[in-house]
Amino acid sequence: MDSFFKAALGVGGLGTVGAAVFFGLYKDWLALDIFSKLSADQTFIIMLVFLGLVFLSLVVLVTAYMLKGIKINSAKATNSSVAIINDTK
């Protein structure tokens, strides 16, 4: 799968990778029986909501990845004492 994304990125750029991910997410989803019962407007709204949720989850995952690299100094005191962090270099 890695080689596919590398090749897609090299040939068509970021748009090709986005189209492949979009197709991968939607190919089986749009074949569900519920869409035959919905109008075109309702299907479009559901598709937009799903796309928004995917984008929101991407933003959350990228933010969590960026925050993972931040070093947080913490100390825990015992016996009701004070914990001090000396961070001078």
Q: What is the pLDDT of residue 16?
A: 76
Q: How far apart are CA 87 and CA 84, in angstroms?
A: 9
- 74 in helix, strand or coil? coil
**pLDDT, the chain, mean:** 78
Element (H, E) at 15: helix 14-26
pLDDT of 65 over the 90 cut: no
Please choose, from the candidates 17, 22, 82, the residue with its C-alpha nearest in 3D space to the C-alpha of residue 55. Answer: 22
**Residue 30 amino acid letter:** L
pLDDT in tens, 10-47: 777 777 777 777 777 777 777 788 888 889 899 889 88
pTM over 0.85: no
